[in-house]
Amino acid sequence: MTAPAPDTDSFAGRDLISMRDYKRDELLAFLDEATFYEGYQEPLLKGKVLASLFFEPSTRTQLSFASAMQRLGGSTLGFSDAKLSSMAKGESLSDTIRVVESYCDIILIRHPREGAARLASESTSLPVINAGDGTNQHPSQTLLDLYTVRQTRGRLDNLKIAFIGDLKYSRTVHSLIETLTHFDNEIFLVSPQSLRTPPEFIEELDARGTVYTEDEDFFSIASDVDIIYTTRIQQERFPDPIEYEKVKNAYRIDREAIERVGADVTLMHPLPRLNEISTDLDDYPGAAYFDQAKNGVTVRKAILSLLLGASR
């Protein structure tokens, strides 16, 4: 029997820190709510303020949250370079959050340290959204990824999904594979040996009975998949630059490679890309990576409205 859809009021005041905090029916409620926000521009969040605290670079996450907030009539403040905040003078993250909470209604934070968003949420009663904490999680990206999967494939179950590239450091992959354990899919994890998926995420797949295969060879799996989700090799996370040099060109997908594996593959990538997806794929019918970025605004409108308890 299908569980009844959760009441949207039940999201008010909650954090979005880890996909582990949300059940399948709640994930679907986010996606259903997002459908409503396609093109919606009413001032639902008039008077609400988003504090956007970025301790790492961002284009999509930061700007699409700002766009979502402003398109719903709200406003944003914050910083995109922590060196210009008082943390550069030694202020703790907890004190920063305790101060910022009196300037806003909801807090968005990206930080290089795993667990930083959770720490921030423990320092305030306001809703906190994790915009990426180190190599750990990036939940709003996962929601827009799921939204894009459902938009392009029409379903979230019975899919063969290959993740290719840096599976060790990619927080978008970690969040998404963990979330996919709520659905019935087959997963392929393709990476160099040194960039395999961390054990804690593999244990999660095992615990939830998700069918998966780990491999190094893209072509041994690619002919049989519905979705290829590629990631950048994350140079900034490597402790040893020589190790990065060894794997930086591990995978490069181009038109010729896709035409070898089949015609009906959806190509996803959280962006930014380096050289792992050739620009000759940008007009390939299954290329969905710029749609993902565009869907970021729609999905983030839903996230902000739900967590702020805004009724429509």
231 lines the binding site for ligand CP (CB under 6 A): no
Tell me how far apart the alpha carbons of residues 113 and 237 are, in angstroms, rounded to a whole number: 11
Q: Which C-beta is closer to ligand CP: that of 221 or that of 233? A: 233
Minimum Å distance from CB 128 to ligand CP?
17
Minimum Å distance from CB 209 to ligand CP?
29
Contact mark string toward ligand CP, 49..68, x via CB under 6 A? ---------xxxx-------
- Positions in 159-188 near ligand CP (CB under 6 A): none
Residues ≥6 apart with Cβ < 8 Å to 173: 163, 166, 167, 197, 229, 231
- Positions in 240-279 near ligand CP (CB under 6 A): 270-272
Q: Which C-beta is closer to ligand CP: that of 31 or that of 108? A: 108
- Positions in 138-157 near ligand CP (CB under 6 A): 138, 141
**Phi and psi, residue 188, nearest 5°:** -120, 130
With CA atoms as reference, report the closest residue to 61 among 114, 22, 16, 31.
Answer: 16
Q: Which C-beta is closer to ligand CP: that of 121 or that of 141? A: 141
Minimum Å distance from CB 138 to ligand CP?
6
Tell me how far apart the alpha carbons of residues 226 and 253 are, in angstroms, rounded to a whole number: 15
256-to-157, 205, 262 alpha-carbon distances in Å: 28, 32, 10
With CA atoms as reference, report the closest residue to 236 among 274, 200, 269.
Answer: 274
**Rounded to the nearest 5 degrees, what angle is found at the Cα of 276, between the Cα atoms of 275 and 278?**
70
* Cβ-based neighbour number of residue 283 at 10 Å: 8
Minimum Å distance from CB 93 to ligand CP?
20
Minimum Å distance from CB 200 to ligand CP?
21
Q: Which C-beta is closer to ligand CP: that of 101 or that of 276? A: 276
For ligand CP (CB under 6 A), the number of binding residues is: 10
- Residues 284, 258 contacting (CB under 8 angstroms): yes
Minimum Å distance from CB 168 to ligand CP?
17
**Rounded to the nearest 5 degrees, what angle is found at the Cα of 154, between the Cα atoms of 152 and 158?**
110
Q: Which helix (H) or strand (E) holds 294?
A: helix 289-307
Minimum Å distance from CB 43 to ligand CP?
26
Q: Which C-beta is closer to ligand CP: that of 186 or that of 270? A: 270
Residues of this chain that bind ligand CP (CB under 6 A): 58-61, 132, 138, 141, 270-272
